[in-house]
Amino acid sequence: MAFASCLVVAVVAYLTFHCASALSSSVWVRLAWAAIPVLLSVGPYEILGNTANIHWYLLWLMPWLLLKPARSRTEGVVLFLAALLSALTEVISVVFLPLVLLRIRRKAFWPARAGLVIGAGVQICTTLLYPRTPGDGHSLDPMSVLVGWFVNVAGVVFFGSSRNMGLNVLNFGAGPVILAFLPIIAALAYLLLKSKREHRLLALLFLTASFGVWTACLVANPGALFDYVHFTESDWAKSILTRYSAIPAMFILALFPLLAESIRATRAQASAGVLVAFAVLLATAYFPTQVAREQGPSWSEGVRAAQAACVGARDDEARPVQVAPIGWSKTGVLVPCSRLRP
């Protein structure tokens, strides 16, 4: 299952590389964009190799599919199916619906956009018919959404791990987050003020997607875990980068290859320097990896213990099997003894 999940991410990376050909003729720029889902520092912690979290990678893929015109019937079918699957997998895909109106008269863009519209329609109907279960009832401070976005983006992009992020904020306050954002602000400022119209629109798309997805996650799942404005020192010490941190950071990372593409025609050496710095940034944030599930508990060992506990029990009785990561479920998974017997 883990291998298959990683294989899906490889396909997402390839499709990102392929679709990015509509935005850049540089193989290196396209490879930089494609490397983001593979080398995202927070990926191994909770979403990489985890079937339950593949939808985050498909959400990253959605705008790339929408920006790629189909050059053949086969490519059109692939783009349609990929967009449909992505939309059916993640309800937050609806944030990209405004892109459907971009160059709407060009039929080459219709396949992926048709997939999104159909998938989004299904998601909206499902949400109306089967509303989400309410959260823990915590009233989230609206400023925590903004503060949390800055902290989580900086945490993933520059600090690389929950421990580094928490310790930096705990020891130095907002200073490390502000410093981490300076390169992001510089890249964004250049793209908005100096680049051509197409690159300005892409920069705004990446920025909006980053903050929009983060906001959607917290609105749907408010909790004390994300109420950053009211964090104590103890809260910062145990704060973590979660699956909700992934997409906001991925789209902010996408600004740097876009900057390299923007200056490539006039400053080739500077463009290459941006890509090299970007590669170093990805590598240093990614290694060493932090994985939530590597410490167990082991499912196979838990099954053997549950089998032993079922000796002499009735078939309709159940025994718990603990699941990774540690602390994820207090009760574990209750498996009937009838399923556990050889």
Separation CA 333–CA 118 (nearest Å):
35
Q: What's at 224, amino acid-wise?
A: A
Whether 305 has a pLDDT exceeding 80, the answer reads yes
Cα 138 from chain centroid (whole Å): 24
| CB distance 281 to 157 below 8 Å | yes
From residue 279, how far is each of 31, 74, 237 by CA, in Å? 10, 33, 29
Q: 266 by DSSP, 3-state: which? A: coil
- Spatial neighbors of 178 by CB under 8 A, at least 6 apart, are none
| CB distance 9 to 39 below 8 Å | no
How much of the chain, in percent, has pLDDT values that exceed 90? 80
Separation CA 315–CA 111 (nearest Å):
52
pLDDT digits (tens, 9 = 90+) for 308-324: 999 999 999 999 999 88
| CB distance 61 to 12 below 8 Å | yes
Q: What is the DSSP string of 89-110?
A: H-GGGGGGGGGGGTTTT-GGGH
Q: Where are the beta strands (DSSP E) in the chain?
A: 318-321, 333-336
Query: Please, which residues bridge with residue 336 across strands?
Result: 318
pLDDT digits (tens, 9 = 90+) for 126-137: 999 998 876 666
Q: Of 86, 155, 162, nearest to 118 (Cα)?
A: 86
Separation CA 174–CA 145 (nearest Å):
15
- Per-residue pLDDT at 137: 66
Separation CA 189–CA 198 (nearest Å):
15
| Torsion, CA 40, CA 41, CA 42, CA 43, rounded to 10 | 50
Residue in this structure with the two tokens 């159909």, named with its chain if needed = 118
pLDDT digits (tens, 9 = 90+) for 13-62: 999 999 999 999 999 999 999 999 999 999 998 899 999 999 999 999 99
pTM of the model as a whole: 0.91
- Per-residue pLDDT at 188: 97
From residue 171, how far is each of 150, 151, 164, 228 by CA, in Å? 17, 14, 11, 16
